[in-house]
């Protein structure tokens, strides 16, 4: 008996009019699975046909050309990894964010199907990605698969670590297998949503070390490739999972349809921005005629020109799930999206036009651009280099915050101006630290890197935590309502109250992470390795901001934290961490060994003495570390004083209401004690 028939029977038993009989739904699971497999195989064959015959990558790199069979196997493994990752991410996102869960938080029947589908897809994706890493080592070194096999099951990892791209695929495969393991043993919508996001983010690993993310402008091409890989995976996977969701009888209505439209719109826009920026960088100043890469790029552009309006039409049609439009458009959009993804995989080994004629300088190869004059205060304002991730992210965060404040104002709710100012100053600080002259000189000078580090780790998190963004979002976002799939408000609450958040924001853990990361990063070989790649610079920036926010949020943040110490405890945490920052700055200043010496000598700025620059950086770490700490101390004292004043006011009002009953009871107790001797 179908769910609709059961509901009709129940209504009839309660006295309501019975629903008309529902015709049996034709089981289309078999054709859907067969169509999916056929589409993936067709995409793999197309990718092989497009990329196997082009040997330009190996000729320009001076590498021996691998056998056609090895090249074909490598391409097939990558296509399978990307397709299965997209299906895993989309299925888990549908299971966690689209299908309505039960009251206990467990997924319903549609969510369960999506979870099982996501588990299978993540398993295939993990195995395919690891195979792609293994095959890429042979593909890029000229060895045969038999030579790698003779080195043992893990012998190829040493070569993968030096080539980077195979290691990216291998790490992505390991994470995808963890996603499969987690989804196999979980029935919670929260876990499904988190694992779906993680599955999409895994594609950032091979994308960050894409062969085209090198040379001049590789900071933009690398960031853009990460954006298009993650957003494209999530978008394509969501469309494919919605096809299966509709085939099994799932429906979208009301706010759920609006959220799905929002997810599709955000994923599509981010993908388009990443695609445009990436292609603009890798085709700049290169010959456009007669290039296999350009031919593929033109086909992608044509497909996107058709895909954008179709996706917009699909998003509008999702508001009426009973109509035929979404059901007809979903497969079409999924097929076009799969074709775009296939062409993206096929173009990995095609040489972009810029690299045919590029004559990059050593500095462009190392950091992505040339530095032609010494650092100065004027250069901070004039020598800008836009950071595609953090610069754009700062503007987006500021815009969303102002939109939320405006929405509250339209309801007649006044949001404190001080919080708005603090948030906007935090976003401005984030922008200046990554996209102004600080971001321009940071990769090539230790002292400027330390200014950016302290700004991102100290000043920006303090200001952002005083903005109260979580509280603002919870006031603006409306509950999803009983029986509906969880919405953004429920997603935010689930994240804030998750076990991960409770562990990460525990004052002891956050303090150790906040202080210890200084010493682990700079006084180990990790720093020298992290300086060599743009994606590791971005990871350092992200680490600085997140660790600082996790530390300052429970101490001075406006938002309610999972762990909230009394004011005296917060003051003790601050006093305990301050000496470690001072000692770090002194240790850097007094060191006679240049940190990251190999990298900075390759940069070779002629006007710079590396040891003097490091001593300057140590002084900056010592001075700029103390100033924010003092600001936090002042903020703590002010918050303590205000809380005491509010508590005193509350007690005065209570005394007025009950004629000071608490004080009278206390005096009576003292009198009884006196009489008792």
What does residue 188 show for φ and ψ, rounded to 5 degrees? -90, 140
What pLDDT does 19 receive?
A: 39
Tokens of 221: 């091409």
Looking at per-residue pLDDT, the higher value among 205 and 146 belongs to: 205
Tokens of 585: 């700055």
Of the pLDDT bands very low, low, confident and very high (cuts 50, 70, 90), residue 97 is: confident
Collapsing DSSP to helix, strand or coil, 188 comes out as strand
Looking at per-residue pLDDT, the higher value among 430 and 13 belongs to: 430
Of the pLDDT bands very low, low, confident and very high (cuts 50, 70, 90), residue 61 is: low
Of the pLDDT bands very low, low, confident and very high (cuts 50, 70, 90), residue 143 is: low
Asked if residues 213 and 354 have their Cβ atoms less than 8 Å apart, the reply is no
Predicted confidence (pLDDT) at residue 319 exceeds the cutoff of 60: no
Q: Partners of 106 in the beta sheet?
A: 188
Q: Which of 115-129, 286-300, 524-538, 647-661 has the lowest mean pLDDT?
A: 647-661
Q: For residue range 240-276, list pLDDT tens digits in order.
A: 888 888 777 777 766 777 788 888 888 888 998 998 9
The mean pLDDT of 587-602, rounded to a whole number, is 87
Predicted confidence (pLDDT) at residue 16 exceeds the cutoff of 70: no
Predicted confidence (pLDDT) at residue 639 exceeds the cutoff of 70: no
d(CA 351, CA 211): 9
Q: How many CA atoms lie within 13 A of 260 on its CB side?
A: 35
What pLDDT does 4 receive?
A: 41
Predicted confidence (pLDDT) at residue 646 exceeds the cutoff of 80: no
CA 674 to chain centre: 66
Nearest to 122 by CA among 160, 96, 83, 150: 83
* pLDDT, averaged across the chain: 80
Greatest Cα pair distance, the chain, in angstroms, is 106
Instruction: Pinpoint the alpha helices (H) of 455-506.
Output: 460-467, 469-476, 488-496, 499-504
Q: List all residues 6 or more positions away from 124 whose beta carbon is below 8 Å from its beta carbon.
A: 80, 84
Distance in angstroms between the alpha carbons of the first and the last residue of the chain: 81
What pLDDT does 448 receive?
A: 92
Asked if residues 75 and 166 have their Cβ atoms less than 8 Å apart, the reply is no
d(CA 112, CA 96): 10
Convert 497-507 to b/e letters by CB count within 10 Å (16 or more is b).
Answer: eeeebeebbbb
Tell me the DSSP string of 335-378. HHHHHHHHHHHHGGGSPPHHHHH----HHHHHHSS---S---HH
Of the pLDDT bands very low, low, confident and very high (cuts 50, 70, 90), residue 654 is: low
- Three-state secondary structure string covering 367-435: HCCCCCCCCCHHHHHHCCCCCCCHHHHHHHHHHHHHHHHHHHHHCCCCCCHHHHHHHHHHHHHHHHHHH
pTM: 0.83
Q: List all residues 6 or more positions away from 389 whose beta carbon is below 8 Å from its beta carbon.
A: 223, 226, 227, 538
Instruction: Pinpoint the alpha helices (H) of 477-533.
Output: 488-496, 499-504, 507-522, 526-530
What pLDDT does 386 receive?
A: 93
What pLDDT does 17 receive?
A: 40
Tokens 């987006």 -> residue: 396
Q: For residue range 382-435, list pLDDT tens digits in order.
A: 889 999 999 999 999 999 999 999 999 998 888 999 899 999 999 999 999 999
Q: Using a pLDDT cut of 90, give the percent of the chain over it.
A: 20
Q: How many helices (H) and strands (E) does the chain have?
A: 32, 0
Q: Partners of 188 in the beta sheet?
A: 106
Tokens 């100043």 -> residue: 285
Q: For residue range 193-225, list pLDDT tens digits in order.
A: 899 999 999 999 999 888 777 778 888 989 999
Of the pLDDT bands very low, low, confident and very high (cuts 50, 70, 90), residue 58 is: low
Predicted confidence (pLDDT) at residue 495 exceeds the cutoff of 90: no
The mean pLDDT of 6-29, rounded to a whole number, is 42
Convert 270-305 to b/e letters by CB count within 10 Å (16 or more is b).
Answer: bbbbbbebbbebbbeebeeeebbbbebbeebeeebe
What pLDDT does 12 receive?
A: 38
Of the pLDDT bands very low, low, confident and very high (cuts 50, 70, 90), residue 20 is: very low
Is residue 310 packed enough to be buried (19+ CB in 10 Å), middle (13-18) or exposed (0-12)?
middle
Q: At what angle do helices 189-201 and 109-141 cross, to 10 degrees?
A: 20
Radius of gyration of the chain (CA): 29
Predicted confidence (pLDDT) at residue 294 exceeds the cutoff of 70: yes
What pLDDT does 57 receive?
A: 64
Q: For residue range 613-629, list pLDDT tens digits in order.
A: 899 988 888 887 667 77
Q: At what angle do helices 218-247 and 189-201 cross, to 10 degrees?
A: 140
The mean pLDDT of 170-197, rounded to a whole number, is 91
What pLDDT does 280 receive?
A: 87
Q: Which of 14-18, 89-93, 627-631 has the lowest mean pLDDT?
A: 14-18
Tell me the DSSP string of 522-573. HSSTHHHHHTT-HHHHHHHHHHHHHHHHHHHHHHH-SSPPSS---HHHHHHH
Tokens 């292609």 -> residue: 279
What pLDDT does 35 receive?
A: 67
The mean pLDDT of 26-48, rounded to a whole number, is 65
Collapsing DSSP to helix, strand or coil, 83 comes out as helix
């Amino acid at each position: 008996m179908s769910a609709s028939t059961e509901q009709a029977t129940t209504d009839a038993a309660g006295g309501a009019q019975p629903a008309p009989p529902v015709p049996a739904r034709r089981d289309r699971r078999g054709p859907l699975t067969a169509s999916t497999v056929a589409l993936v195989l067709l995409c793999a064959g197309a990718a092989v046909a497009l990329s196997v015959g082009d040997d330009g990558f190996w000729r320009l790199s001076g590498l021996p050309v691998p056998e056609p069979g090895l090249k074909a196997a490598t391409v097939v493994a990558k296509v399978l990894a990307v397709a299965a990752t997209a299906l895993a991410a989309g299925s888990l996102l549908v299971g966690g964010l689209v299908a309505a869960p039960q009251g206990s938080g467990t997924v319903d029947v549609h969510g369960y199907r999506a979870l099982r589908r996501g588990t299978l897809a993540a398993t295939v994706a993990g195995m395919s990605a690891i195979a792609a890493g293994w095959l890429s080592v042979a593909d890029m070194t000229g060895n045969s698969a038999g030579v790698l096999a003779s080195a043992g099951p893990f012998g190829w990892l040493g070569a993968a670590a030096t080539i980077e791209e195979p290691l990216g695929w291998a790490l992505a495969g390991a994470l995808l297998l963890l996603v499969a393991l987690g989804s196999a043993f979980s029935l919670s919508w929260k876990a499904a949503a988190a694992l779906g996001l993680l599955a999409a983010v895994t594609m950032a690993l091979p994308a960050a070390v894409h062969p085209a993310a090198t040379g001049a402008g590789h900071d933009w091409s690398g960031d853009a490739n990460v954006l298009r890989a993650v957003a494209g995976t999530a978008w394509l996977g969501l469309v494919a999972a919605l096809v299966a969701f509709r085939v099994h009888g799932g429906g979208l209505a009301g706010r759920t349809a609006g959220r799905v439209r929002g997810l599709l719109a955000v994923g599509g826009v981010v993908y388009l921005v990443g695609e445009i920026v990436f292609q603009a960088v890798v085709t700049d100043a290169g010959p456009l005629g007669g290039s296999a890469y350009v031919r593929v790029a033109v086909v992608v552009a044509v497909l996107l020109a058709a895909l954008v309006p179709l996706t917009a039409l699909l998003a509008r049609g999702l508001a009426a799930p009973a109509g035929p439009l979404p059901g007809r458009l979903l497969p079409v959009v999924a097929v076009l999206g799969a074709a775009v993804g296939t062409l993206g995989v096929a173009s990995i080994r095609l040489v972009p036009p810029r690299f045919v004629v590029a004559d990059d300088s050593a500095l462009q190869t190392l950091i992505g651009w040339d530095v032609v004059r010494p650092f100065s205060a004027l250069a901070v304002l004039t020598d800008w280099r836009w950071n595609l991730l953090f610069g754009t992210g700062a503007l987006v965060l500021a815009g969303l915050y102002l939109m939320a404040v405006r929405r509250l104002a339209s309801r007649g709710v006044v949001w404190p101006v001080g919080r708005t100012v603090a948030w906007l100053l935090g976003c401005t600080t984030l922008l200046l630290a990554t996209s102004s002259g600080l971001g321009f000189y940071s990769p090539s000078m230790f002292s400027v890197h330390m200014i950016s580090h302290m700004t991102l780790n100290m000043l920006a998190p303090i200001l952002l935590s005083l903005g109260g963004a979580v509280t603002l979002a919870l006031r603006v976002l409306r509950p999803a309502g009983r029986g509906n799939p969880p919405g953004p408000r429920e997603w935010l609450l689930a994240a804030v109250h998750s076990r991960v958040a409770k562990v990460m924001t525990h004052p002891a853990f956050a303090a150790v992470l906040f202080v210890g990361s200084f010493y682990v990063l700079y006084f180990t070989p990790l720093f020298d390795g992290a300086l060599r790649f743009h994606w590791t610079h971005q990871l350092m920036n992200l680490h600085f901001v997140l660790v600082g926010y996790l530390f300052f949020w429970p101490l001075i943040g406006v938002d309610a934290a999972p762990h909230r110490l009394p004011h005296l405890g917060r003051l003790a945490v601050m006093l305990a961490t301050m000496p470690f920052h001072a000692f770090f700055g002194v240790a850097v200043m007094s060191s006679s060994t240049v940190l990251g010496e190999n990298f900075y000598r390759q940069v070779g700025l002629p006007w710079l003495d590396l040891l003097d620059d490091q001593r300057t950086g140590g002084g900056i770490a010592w001075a700029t570390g103390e100033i924010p700490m003092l600001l936090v101390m002042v903020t703590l004292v002010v918050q303590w004083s205000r809380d005491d004043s509010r508590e005193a006011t509350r007690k005065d009002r209570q005394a007025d209401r009950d004629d000071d009953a608490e004080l009278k009871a206390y005096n009576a107790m003292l009198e009884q004690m006196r009489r008792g001797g």
